[in-house]
Amino acid sequence: MRKTEACIWLSRSDRAALERLVSRRNTPQKVVWRARIVLLSADRVGVMAITRTVGKSKVTVSRWQERYLTKGIAGLRRDATRPGRKPPLTAEAIKQVVDKTLHEKPAAGTHWSSRKLAAVTGLSYTSVQRIWKAHELKPHRVKTFKLSNDKRFVEKVQDIVGLYLDPPDKALVFSVDEKSQIQALDRTQPGLPLKKGRCGTMTHDYKRMAPPPCSLPSTLPLAR
The domain spans of the chain are 12-77, 91-139, 143-208
CB atoms near residue 221 (< 10 Å): 6
pLDDT tens profile 37-82? 999 999 999 999 999 999 999 999 999 999 999 989 988 888 766 6
CB 191 within 8 A of CB 133: no
Rounded CA gap, 152 and 154, in Å? 6
Cα–Cα distance measured from residue 31 to residue 14, given in angstroms and rounded to the nearest whole number: 14
d(CA 110, CA 202): 13
Confirm if 64 and 34 have CB atoms less than 8 A apart. yes
Closest CA to 60 of 32, 83, 78, 37: 37
The pLDDT value recorded for residue 197 is 62
Q: Are strands 184-187 and 206-208 parallel, antiparallel or unpaired?
A: antiparallel
The three-state secondary structure class of 143 is strand
Residue-by-residue pLDDT tens, the chain, 224 positions: 445 567 888 999 999 999 999 999 899 999 999 999 999 999 999 999 999 999 999 999 999 999 999 989 988 888 766 666 677 888 899 999 988 888 888 887 777 888 989 998 988 989 999 998 888 888 877 766 666 777 888 888 888 888 888 888 877 777 776 555 555 556 666 666 666 666 666 666 666 555 555 554 545 454 44
Q: Which of 44, 37, 45, 8 is nearest to 21 (CA)?
A: 37
Rounded Cα gap, residues 174 and 167, in angstroms: 11
0.85 exceeded by the pTM?
no
